[in-house]
Chain A
Amino acid sequence: MNPLVVNNVVKQYADKTAVSGVQFEVSKGEIYGLLGANGAGKTTTMRMILGLIYPDQGEIRYNGKPYSNELLKNIGYLPEERGLYPKIKVSEQLIYLAQLKGMSAKDADKSLKYWLERFEVPENYSKRVEELSKGNQQKIQFISAVIHNPQFIIMDEAFSGLDPVNVELLKATVKELRDNGASIVFSTHRMEHVEELCRNITILHRSKEVIKGGVKEIKSKFPKEKVFLQTKQEVKGLEQLAGVKVIHRHEHGLEIEIAEEKVASHILNHALSQSEIEHFQVKEPTLNEIFIRSVGERNE
């Protein structure tokens, strides 16, 4: 049985359904992506996993057991908005938080120093949080979620407010936590992070699951509707081919939207007959496109 099982949970707020029938499992050493537009029910789902609120229906099991206070020590949480004491030293508050998670002050101090070193900010140890830049605060927040080496990690918008260098640093860290066997639930709006990190995802829309499964399978289910073509000479008459919808002329080639996948081979044959081909690719839909299509179209 997988360490984290979310079984058909439903959450109703007064007159509004926040989450309706969400179901997924996270195995050991996996990052699970929870996607959705604002207000789709991601935060509510995460709060239920954190045990802050209880589901109306369905259940969540951790290592096969229901939620209990014992579990608090085993969960790390990175909230969407920064949550730290602004006027208290980094060392004091992180050791405090780690102690609440059951660590001894000494171990917490050691772990904190390791992580600060790891994030290349050891000088922040004795600074107050309000003195730090936004990116550095985010690093401290990240440390507060993982300092006690939890089995379950919930990350809400982990990389917001970071520059590309630091995003890479934190991404590498998340992968390492995964490889060490943590079960991670991860939410973001940045689809390229999801493609890189997550094995399985759920896309929520208005409290319901609209797409769910492995990133590869989801992509393969969506038809390939784009072709990239780069040729030596100009190819004429592409517009007249059946199934060609739009042609975008880029600097180094053409991006052609097609009605169905088999049109691609017609385009290739047509092009070959006129010119040598430098580059031809039938493009997979990006998750971004899938997301916008599945969420955006239903919005209408």
Chain B
Amino acid sequence: MKSLLDRLVSVMNNFGTVVRFTVMNKLKAKPFIISTIVFLLIISVVVNLPYIIMQFQGGGSDKVQTIGYIQDGAAPGSTTAQQLQQYFEAVEGSRLQLKSFPSSGDAAADEKTLRDALNNGELYSYLQFGEMTDSGFPEVIVKSEKLLDDSISNQIEAALHIIRQSNVLAQSGLSEQQLNELQAPIVVEAVQIKGSMSGEDGDSAISAAEQGVNMGIIYFLIIFLFMAVMISGQMIASEVTAEKSSRVMEVLITSVSPLTSMFGKITGMFLIVLIQLASYIAVALLNISLPHNAEMLQGLSIDLSVVDPMLIIFAILYFLFGFFLFATLYAALGSIVSRTEDLGSAVMPMTFISLAGFYIAIFSIATPDSMLVKICSHIPLFSPFVMILRAGLTNIPTWEVFVSLGILVVTIYLAVVFSAKIYRTGVLMYGKRPSFKELRKAMKAYKI
């Protein structure tokens, strides 16, 4: 009994030593530090991008844009333009205003007048009117030097809609009350019925706010898991290959059992990825909370208190399990390659699988109850991405989550046994990348 305890202590000591060594070396490595800092800078820029863009427009968004037109008493276009002018004057804070120019009677001269005004900056764009259409208005042509500037034509179109509506309504002889009734907003609220997830029967509805937050969290979780897997998977595999190609592996396996060293490395990388991602998130949050971004933050209106605690627990479990499943497989793949150049092709299948899981989840976020999602939420390598979607957005029986978790745990166990074998065999094999058959032969030969 005592010797068993001693052994456990010595294994844990070695495990701790490997974890510490992995973490310290990674944190001190220049490429790691530089790439992290670069990424932090990119995040800072992206978060502040809306503000920066606004600054570059030089407050232009507040400036009133003037649109010219020709006032020619008889033409139908002039009536329409006058109506628009009145409409935009009536709207408070409108950024558009119309300005009339007297007609000279000659179309070409009129256009020249407008164009001159445009060129000297008096006008932003100008209107011309074509044939009368069925809409009751003549065809409106917006001329501007700026290409594809939809916002002006959209605003004019919207204004004309309202003008026409009020014209028609005014002629219909409806009472004021009837007019108000017509214009009163219609309220539609989507309420999702909650199932056994929370176990609370009393309040069985997921409010729209809660669903919105859930969706945001799920987006976040899926991307977080995906990044963790991609970053650390590559790092783990390349660390293992580097140890093999520098032959330090031969010394290592005579010092520490392969299993301990593999899990030490995986755990070390897990900590590294957490540190890295946490610093990304911290910097993003810091930037968002800067005073000039306060408006944006309010617009998001995040209230984390509405999140179901079960969802958080499931999310943590799936994150941990998903991470370790991918990490062990990446370690195994890294161990069969003896040169870093061959690593890319060896880990390709894992990269595709994680990409597939990620995209299935992201593209199904609007249809979380499709058959594809239901099936994938039980397939081990996909379930960490997909099940979280179902758990957060649909009414799913808790037992189904546990079945999927159970499948995942069994798979992890098998993957650990399998990866440990490959690892033990792989680290002794040098030369070209062995085929699966060669690997199996070697496993048998080494009696692993």
Binding site for B on A (CB under 8 A): 12-14, 47, 50-54, 56, 69-70, 72, 75, 77, 79, 81-88, 92-93, 96-97, 99-102, 144-145
Contacts and interface: CB of A to CB of B under 8 A. Distances in A.
A23 B428 CA distance: 24
A100 B446 contact: no
B248 A53 contact: no
Interface string B241-273: 001001111111111110000000000000000
A79 B247 CA distance: 9
Nearest to A100: B255
A52 B442 CA distance: 13
B14 interface: yes
B293 interface: no
B2 interface: no
5 contacts: A14-B441, A53-B447, A69-B7, A72-B254, A100-B14
A47 B249 CA distance: 13
A72 B250 contact: no
Given A14-B445, A72-B254, A83 B248 contact: yes
Interface string B403-447: 000000000000000000000000010000000000001101111
B447 A54 contact: yes
B255 to A, nearest CB: 4
B428 A53 contact: yes
A50 B250 CA distance: 10
Contact of A83 (B17, B249, B428, B447): B249
Contacts of B220: none
B196 interface: no
B135 interface: no
Contacts of A99: 13, 17
A53 B446 contact: yes
A75 B254 contact: yes
Given A83-B248, A100-B256, 6 more contacts: A14-B445, A69-B7, A84-B246, A84-B248, A87-B29, A100-B14
A86 B25 CA distance: 12
Interface of B: 7, 10, 13-14, 17-18, 21, 24-25, 29, 243, 246-257, 428, 441-442, 444-447
Contacts of A52: 253-254, 428
A227 B444 CA distance: 54
A33 to B, nearest CB: 21
Contacts of B250: 77, 79, 81, 83
A60 B200 CA distance: 64
A239 to B, nearest CB: 54
A50 B254 contact: yes
B430 to A, nearest CB: 9
Nearest to B251: A83
Contacts of A70: 7
Contacts of A100: 14, 17-18, 252, 255-256
A93 B22 CA distance: 11
A13 B7 CA distance: 32
B247 A82 contact: yes
A275 B14 CA distance: 74
A54 B254 contact: no
B447 A79 contact: no
Contacts of B17: 96, 99-100
A53 B253 CA distance: 11
A277 B21 CA distance: 69
A300 to B, nearest CB: 29
A144 B251 contact: yes
Given A69-B7, A100-B17, A47 B251 contact: no
Given A69-B7, A72-B256, A99-B17, A85 B248 contact: yes
A92 B18 CA distance: 12
Contacts of A82: 247
Contacts of B24: 92
Contacts of B25: 85, 88, 92
A51 B256 CA distance: 12
Contacts of B442: 13
A197 to B, nearest CB: 22
Contacts of A145: 251
A83 B247 contact: yes
A88 B28 CA distance: 10
A54 B444 CA distance: 11
B235 to A, nearest CB: 15
Contacts of A75: 254
Nearest to A47: B428
A105 to B, nearest CB: 9
Contacts of B29: 87
A14 B437 CA distance: 11
Among A53, A75, A81, A100, chain B packs the most CB atoms within 10 A around the CB of A100
B445 A13 contact: yes
B10 A102 contact: yes
B423 to A, nearest CB: 13
Contact of B257 (A14, A69, A84): A69
A101 B445 contact: no
A145 B250 CA distance: 11
A12 B256 contact: no
Nearest to A81: B247
Nearest to B11: A69
A85 B242 CA distance: 8
Contacts of B256: 72, 100
Contacts of A83: 246-251
Contacts of A102: 10, 13
A82 B14 CA distance: 23
Interchain residue pairs A-B with the least CB separation, the first 5: A83-B247, A100-B255, A77-B254, A83-B248, A79-B250
B248 to A, nearest CB: 4
A145 B248 CA distance: 12
Nearest to B25: A88
B251 A79 contact: yes
A92 B248 CA distance: 14
B179 to A, nearest CB: 78
